[in-house]
A and B are shown apart, each in its own frame.
Chain A
C-alpha cells in the first residue's frame, strides 16, 4: 500500500511539473509576456520596461526563470492582479467558496439522482425506463450547459417567477433561505451533465457486478434478493464510482464556469471570465494553474482512496 501511494505521488509530482511548464509557456505567450501587467500601463516608457525586466530577472535564461517562477508558485507567490494589485492567490481564494458551494451541491444532486437512475436501469436492463434513461442521458450530455441555463431562467424566473435569475443572494438579505433560493437553479443546471455521467457509469458498474459469480452464488444460497443487491452488488458497484468522481472533476469545474456566467454567480469561473475581459493575465494564469492543480490533487486522492477501499488495485 505504502509503495502504491509513493508511486502515485511521484507520478503526480511529475505531472505537476509538466502542468507548470505548460502554464509557464502560456504566461510567456501572453502579449508582453510576464511583463504584460506593466506593459499595459501607458505611463511606462521603454526604459522603465527595460529596468523592470532586469529587476524581475526576465533577462535571465528561460530555464532559470522557470525554476524561479515555479519556486515562487510553491511558496504561494502567484503574482499580483493588475486590476487592483491584490495577490492572485487571495483573489482566487475569495471566489473559491461560491464555486465550491455550487459544485458540491451539484455533485450531491448528481450522485443521488444519477446513482438511482443508473442502478434502476441496470436492474431492469432494456426496460422502458432503462431505454428512456439511456437516451435522456445522451441528450443531457449534448445540451450546452449555458443554453440549458437560459431555458431554466426563462421558464422559472421570467415565466413562472419562482426562482431568481442570478446572483448568490438578494442584496441586503443573505439568510440561509435566500442563499438556498438562489442556489437551486444554477446547481440543477450544473447537475444535469453530471447526473447523466453518474447514471451511465453507475449503470455499467452495476451491470458488471450483477453478472459476477458471487452474485449467482448468493442467489443459489437462497439469499433474499434485496440483501444480494444491497450487501453484495451495490457495495461493489459503488467502488469504481470513486474513480468516476476523480475523472469527473475537470468537467465539473468547466461546467461551473459556464453556469456561473449564465447565473452571474460570484465564483472562480466568473472571476476567470472577468479577468480575461480585463486582460488580467496574472489572474487568468493563476486560475488556470489553480484549477489544473485541483484536478491533479482530485485524481490523486481518488486513486489513493480507491486503493484503500479495494485491495485488488494496490498490485501493479
Chain B
C-alpha cells in the first residue's frame, strides 16, 4: 500500500469521491458543457438582438455567419441561434423535470417493492417488467397520440415511460439494505415503516439513485427530441431541439445548417449527461463500476 492510498483512506467520503470524479476527465468536460448549455439557454436570448419567433420573410434561409445571424435563419427567416437557445430552455427543462418525476415515481415504487417484498413486491415489479415490454418510443407516441400535445403533457409522458429502470435499481438496493443492522435497529426503536424506508434505506441508496438520475436526464432529452421531431411533442411556434429538426429534413438539400445546429446541441447535451453519470458512478460507488 502506497502513501497515496493511505492518505485517501483518511479523506472524508465526499472528498474521496470528488478526487475520483476529478480524475474522470470526460465527466468533468460533460459537467462544463452542461453548465455552458444551461447558462447559454437561460441568459443567451437576452444578449441576442433577435426574437426566436420573429418571422422575417425577407431573410429566409440566410446561411450561417452571413451578417448578424450567426447560425443563419430558417424557412421563415427566424434566427436559428435564438431558436436554439429558447429550444434549449425547453429541451433541458423537460429533461430535468421529467427526470425528477420519473425519480419520484421510481423511488417510491422501488422502495415499497423492496421493503415489503412478497406479494406487494412481486406485483409492483411485474408491473415494471410489463411496462418495460413496450418499446419506449412506441409507448410514448401512442400516449402522445391520445393526449393534447404540449410542454406539460410531453414532460409527464416522458416521465411515465422512464421511471421503470429507477424502480429496479431502488428495489434491489432497498431489498438488500433492509436486512442490514441499522435498518433492523430502526425497526427495534419502533420507527414506522415509511420512516425506515425513506429516512434510512433510500438515503443509503443515494449513490446509485444519483447515477440513475443523471442518466435519466440524458434519456429524457433524447426522448423529447424523438417525439418532437415526429411532431407529437412541443408544438411550433415554440422551439425545442427536437421540433427544430422536424422541418429540417425537407430543406436538407438547400439549407443543411438547419439540421446541424439542433442535432449537435442534442448530441452534446445527451453525451455530457451520459459521461457525467458515468463519472459519478465511478466517484460515488467504485463497486458499481460496470462498463
Q: Which residues of A contact B (CB under 8 A)?
A: 14-15, 18-19, 22, 26, 29-31, 134-135, 138-139, 141-144, 146-147, 150-151, 153-154, 158, 200, 203-204, 207, 250-251, 253-254, 257-258, 261-262, 272-273, 276, 279, 284-285, 287-288, 291-293, 295-296
Contact of B135 among A19, A150, A251, A262 (CB under 8 A): A251
> What residues on A are CB-neighbors of B274 within 8 Å?
138, 141-142
Roughly how many angstroms separate A141 CA and B259 CA in the complex, as a whole number? 19
Having A150-B248, A150-B259, A258-B137, one finds 8 other A-B pairs with CB under 8 Å, namely: A15-B133, A18-B129, A26-B143, A30-B146, A144-B263, A251-B135, A262-B249, A285-B142
> What residues on B are CB-neighbors of A144 within 8 Å?
222, 225-226, 229, 263, 266-267, 270
Q: Which residues of B contact A (CB under 8 A)?
A: 26, 126-127, 129-139, 141-146, 218, 222, 225-226, 229-230, 232, 245, 248-249, 252-253, 256, 259, 262-263, 266-267, 270-271, 274-275, 278, 290-291
> What residues on B are CB-neighbors of A18 within 8 Å?
126-127, 129-130
**Contact A292/B141 with A26-B146, A144-B267 known, Cβ cut-off 8 Å:** no
- Of all chain B residues, the one with the shortest Cβ separation from A257 is B137
Roughly how many angstroms separate A19 CA and B138 CA in the complex, as a whole number? 14
> What residues on A are CB-neighbors of B127 within 8 Å?
18
A254 touches B137 (CB 8 A): yes
Some 22 contacts from A to B, beta carbons below 8 A apart, are: A19-B134, A26-B146, A31-B146, A138-B274, A142-B270, A144-B270, A150-B248, A153-B249, A154-B256, A154-B259, A207-B291, A250-B133, A250-B134, A253-B135, A254-B136, A272-B138, A276-B142, A276-B144, A287-B138, A288-B134, A291-B138, A293-B133
A295 touches B141 (CB 8 A): no
- Of all chain A residues, the one with the shortest Cβ separation from B225 is A144
Roughly how many angstroms separate A14 CA and B271 CA in the complex, as a whole number? 37
A254 touches B138 (CB 8 A): yes
A204 touches B291 (CB 8 A): yes
B138 touches A204 (CB 8 A): no
> What residues on B are CB-neighbors of A292 within 8 Å?
130, 133-135
- Of all chain A residues, the one with the shortest Cβ separation from B275 is A138
A147 touches B245 (CB 8 A): yes
Roughly how many angstroms separate A158 CA and B253 CA in the complex, as a whole number? 6
A279 touches B271 (CB 8 A): no
Contact of A15 among B126, B145, B146, B275 (CB under 8 A): B126
A147 touches B142 (CB 8 A): no
Contact of B263 among A147, A251, A258 (CB under 8 A): A147
A261 touches B135 (CB 8 A): no
> What residues on A are CB-neighbors of B137 within 8 Å?
254, 257-258
> What residues on A are CB-neighbors of B232 within 8 Å?
276
Roughly how many angstroms separate A15 CA and B266 CA in the complex, as a whole number? 35
B291 touches A203 (CB 8 A): yes
> What residues on A are CB-neighbors of B26 within 8 Å?
135, 138
A250 touches B136 (CB 8 A): yes
A257 touches B245 (CB 8 A): no
Roughly how many angstroms separate A143 CA and B222 CA in the complex, as a whole number? 8
> What residues on A are CB-neighbors of B126 within 8 Å?
14-15, 18
Q: Which 6 A-B pairs have the closest CB atoms?
A: A18-B130, A147-B263, A142-B270, A142-B271, A254-B137, A254-B135
